[in-house]
Chain A
Amino acid sequence: MGLVLPLLVFLGVTFLAPLATMLLRSVHDPVVADALPATLAALREWEGEGLPPEAVYEAAARELGSAREARTLGQVAGRVNRLQSGLRSVLTRTARDLDDVAGGPWREAMAGMDSAWVDPGTWHAIRAAGERFTARHYLNAVDMRRLPDGSVAPQPEERRIYLPLLWRTLLVSLAITVFCLILGYPIAHLIAHAPPRRGNLLLALVLVPFWTSLLVRTTSWIVLLQTQGVINDILVAIGLVGDDGRLSMVYNMTGTLVAMTHVLLPFMVLPLYSVMRSIPPLHMRAAASMGATPAQAFRRVYWPQTLPGVGAGSLLVFILAIGYYITPALVGGSSGQLISNMVAYHMQTSLNWGLAAALGALLLVGVLVLYLLYDRLVGVERMSLG
């Protein structure tokens, strides 16, 4: 136990703490609550019907000004804007204009600056953005939203994006798993029952892509599949397609499927191979001697014995596929993107880190469930590396 402890501590700091931070991010966002405490406190008195009382306007005027001075206003406005678009500039402009206003009544002053201030929707948005702990990122991640009255409803049609994407990710991962099985099973069989020297050589051929940098393999597929690429050139040269009818095989779903199957195939072959190697050839011969056709012998004798390998390989490929990011990002174009790409998008481009964390948490739970299943069926300690 003492020997494992250093690594457990290390893992706790470098891996588990980060995951915990991410989970916290997905439900916790203090920016608005910290910037507008008095406004939010005053808003709590408001029933949500009609306009809030003057006290709310007064607090808002004061706190918008101080947020502007502290230069946190942009972050506050950005978060409110996510709940109702258009409010970003309302908040920043109002804060700027309020500099010239000496005193109340604040409601009239603000209403004069923008009619949004006499729209209850604005205040609902501010109140919702002010929740320190919130489930809205998770709602958002499953294409739902909270209405002003507190009920939960689906997003409007044109904004539903994550559930279809999750669904697509599952289907693509499943397809890749099936492709890997179809391609991997015969070659695993060939390698497992070849004479040792040849078997080792063939196994090395499987391992070459396994060791080669992922970026190199992805680059290769771009070079092969692009419109002016090697495969299209060959097809044109042998006259299968015309020069103007070159196929689009990359920067779309085809690219994602081909490249990911290539990347994940070794993870299918290796477990299959280690199971098949342990099946004595005697079994097949015995079946044949008892009159079974090769097809029958395969179906009744061989295939059932390889099922543990099929299960292990398929689960492993599936687990790795649903979290894949690099390959779809580089060869997937717009139609070949998966859920991980959306996490990256919100991490790096839209900077909606709460939503990125919520999507990541959902993905993490999915992977953990599959991982537990794998452990139950295969045992993690038997995960082989070739």
Chain B
Amino acid sequence: MTGLRIGRFAHLAFCALVFIFLVAPIIVIVPLSFNAEPYFTFTEGMLRLDPAAWSLRWYREIIENEVWTRSLANSLVIGVSATVLATALGTLAALGLSSPAMPARRFITGLLISPMVTPVIISAAGMFFFYTNVGLAQTHLGLILAHATLGMPFVVITVVATLTGFDRNLTRAAASLGAGPVRIFRTVQLPLIAPGVISGALFAFATSFDEVVVVLFMGGLEQRTIPRQMWAGIREQISPAILAVATFLVVFALALLLTVEWLRRRASA
């Protein structure tokens, strides 16, 4: 029995290490972003909790720096537009895929999800060639279309998943009571699949908000986004200002995660 105990203990210890591996890198940059010095390590002052060693100077720098605020505006505009587009088209398609009369379901599902598994460098290269030909490169519209494409599979997956637990008798009942398809969608289906739609939309937004390769290939000066700006910073010289932006993004990610979890609970409750 002691062997079993040791085994259990080893298992738990190993798991603890893996969890540290998963989370520690993300946590460690948060305190470093309050470093008063332009270094990326904990200075002695920071370890002694000397208030002078901690400062908000990097946060002030990013708030005052118009490059970062402009990138944020771009990220939001592109992200929100791409999300709206991806969610609308993706939800419709998921409804279609879930209908029993859908032909070639497996093939079409595979096709719709393919942008998610295609290496983004390939999508970006192809989009660069094609969007250049049609004059969409270096425009907001081009990036919105590209990001909507990359985010759409997430919407399809989450909405299809919610719909598998969906009782078709409800729509049939509504139809027999004289409701038209639009009315059925609005009053019966939408409230039930709403958590899935919102989760999918959040996934799509997160995809766009984090996307850098397509922006790198297709975006011009006017389309600089937050990840694009971070990319430049990391490649050239990491300033602690990058860590301040990163901290902001971590907080943002936590908010997204909590929202999605909350929606999932609600959907499964």
Interface residues of A (CB under 8 A from B): 1-8, 10-11, 13-15, 17-22, 25, 183-184, 186-187, 189-190, 200, 202, 204-224, 226, 228-230, 233, 262, 265-266, 294, 319-320, 322-326, 330, 340, 343-344, 347-348, 353, 356-357, 360, 363-364, 367, 371, 374-375, 379-381, 383-385
- Which residue from chain B places its CB closest to the CB of A207 in the assembled complex? B257
16 pairs from A and B in contact (CB 8 Å cutoff): A3-B92, A6-B92, A10-B148, A14-B127, A190-B11, A208-B22, A224-B25, A226-B40, A228-B41, A262-B22, A320-B117, A323-B118, A324-B119, A325-B119, A325-B213, A347-B217
> Would you call A323 and B102 a contact (CB within 8 A)?
no
- List the 6 shortest-distance A-B pairs measured between CB atoms, nearest first: A323-B119, A3-B96, A18-B126, A4-B96, A18-B130, A22-B126
Query: Complex formed: what's the CA distance from A179 to B117 in Å?
Result: 20
Query: Complex formed: what's the CA distance from A344 to B95 in Å?
Result: 37
Q: Which residues of B contact A11 (CB under 8 A)?
A: 111-112, 115, 149, 152
Q: Sort chain B's interface into a size bin.
A: 35 or more
Rounded to whole Å, the gap between the CB of A249 and the closest CB of chain B is 13
> Would you call B121 and A220 a contact (CB within 8 A)?
no
Given pairs A19-B123, A330-B235, A344-B121, 15 additional interface contacts (CB within 8 A): A1-B101, A3-B96, A14-B145, A183-B21, A205-B23, A207-B257, A222-B238, A262-B25, A330-B231, A330-B234, A347-B125, A357-B129, A360-B125, A371-B117, A375-B106
> Would you call A383 and B157 a contact (CB within 8 A)?
yes
Rounded to whole Å, the gap between the CB of A277 and the closest CB of chain B is 13
Query: Complex formed: what's the CA distance from A122 to B110 in Å?
Result: 48
Query: Complex formed: what's the CA distance from A367 to B122 in Å?
Result: 11
Query: Complex formed: what's the CA distance from A346 to B213 in Å?
Result: 14
A215-B227, A294-B4 given; A326·B212 CB < 8 A: yes
Interface-side segment among B53-61, B64-72, B167-175, B241-249: B241-249
**Choice from B28, B92, B102 contacting A230 with Cβ under 8 Å:** B28
Interface centre among A17, A207, A218, A381 (most CB of B within 10 A): A381
Query: Complex formed: what's the CA distance from A275 to B230 in Å?
Result: 37
- Which residue from chain B places its CB closest to the CB of A347 in the assembled complex? B125
> Would you call A217 and B160 a contact (CB within 8 A)?
no
**Choice from A15, A205, A229 contacting B22 with Cβ under 8 Å:** A205
Query: Complex formed: what's the CA distance from A380 to B99 in Å?
Result: 17
Query: Complex formed: what's the CA distance from A1 to B103 in Å?
Result: 7
Query: Complex formed: what's the CA distance from A2 to B99 in Å?
Result: 11
A343-B122, A367-B118 given; A205·B19 CB < 8 A: yes
- Asked if B45 is at the interface of the complex by the 8 Å CB criterion, the answer is no
Q: Which residues of B contact A214 (CB under 8 A)?
A: 210, 212, 227
- Asked if B203 is at the interface of the complex by the 8 Å CB criterion, the answer is yes
